[in-house]
Structure 1
Amino acid sequence: MPACSSPEPDYHRLVAVPGEPARTAARVVELRRVGVPGYLDRSEIVRAGPGSRLDVLRNVRWGEPLGGMVSRVLAEDLAQRLPGSTVLADAGAIRLAADTAVEAELQRFEAGPSSTVELAAQVAFRFGPGRPGAARSFRFTVPVEGQGPSAVAAAMSGALGRLADAIAAALPPR
């Protein structure tokens, strides 16, 4: 009798997307680990269903933990948008004294039933001793172009890129 086996999981990742370089002075930016809602921070890709329903895509997984991947990709997006600056992820191996700290908490970051990805985030900025910090809320909706998990991952990558655009634009000139 042949043994039953389940198919190999289908793995996906978020990737940095190009954006417009911001017109800001060079700085050292520390991106603190991005907070991701617990219901999303799992190995499987989760889609929002109708109402409060969540659909877990069985056998469709992230290639690394979502929280760490979001932080890493957002840091890469920011580095591309802040030419001449150094952007370091808090969870990374490299440490420098930063003159700007960015903290982000995602409230929503999922594809919904309407073929869009919604990203809602609160972002705090700290600019060093003697300078007041600031906080902003951002919300983006990005269309999912195509079908399947690859299209969802691409739209989620695009939403993170839009967040990076907004963060870079919110940094004051020095």
Structure 2
Amino acid sequence: MTLHRKLLLLGMVAALAGCASVPTQYLTLSSPSPVAARQSLQGHGLPIVVAHVQMPADIDRLYLTTLQGKHRLDVAGHVRWAAPLGGMAQKVLAQDLASALPDKTVLMPGDPIPNGPYLLVKINVQSFIPSN
């Protein structure tokens, strides 16, 4: 085998090895007690609307962020959120409220907001970051 062929073969092996990568993992939030069926608009009292959950900028990103020590964040390259974190938190919170308050009307994200009075739940998360 000539030197040229050996170099070509070595280059092809290196190129194929570069194509092999770690598969991306997708994370999601879920309610421990999911709502069995969509809430009806027949609940008692004022309907409850859950606003979009505000997340801190250091974790409001596509990839999972973990705390490494006191002053260092690590952004995972192959672990990412399946959807925007604030939107997932809003959905899970609405599901949890609907399960905990079965006699109330809890509107799910995307439901039309009523014209009349309603209760608005606003959440501003201050810290939500795992540490290693």
> TM > 0.5 between the two?
yes
How many residue pairs align between the two structures? 107
Q: Which has the higher contact order (CA 8 A, sep 6+)?
A: 2
Over alpha carbons, which structure has the higher Rg?
2
Match in the other structure for 2:6: none
Q: From the superposition, tell whether residues 98 and 11 of structure 1 become closer, same or farther in structure 2 (CA, over 3 Å).
A: farther
Shift of 1:26: 4.7
Structure 1 stretches of at least 4 aligned residues deviating more than 6 Å after TM superposition: none
- Give the counterpart of 1:94 among 109, 112, 115: 112
AA at the equivalent of 2:66: R
Question: Which of 37, 56, 66 is 2:56 aligned to?
Answer: 37
1:77 and 2:121 aligned: no
Which amino acid letter does the alignment assign opposite residue 57 of structure 2? G
Q: How does 1:109-128 map to 2 (within 5 A)?
A: 109-113=128-132
In structure 2, stretches of 5+ residues that fail to align are: 1-11, 35-43
Aligned to 1:131: none
Q: Residues 58 and 8 of structure 1: is their aligned pair in 2 closer, same or farther, counting only changes over 3 Å?
A: same
TM-score relative to the length of structure 1: 0.55
The percentage of counterpart residues that share the same residue type is 33
Structure ranking higher in strand proportion: 1
Q: Is the CA contact (8 Å cut-off) linking 1:26 and 1:83 kept in structure 2?
A: no
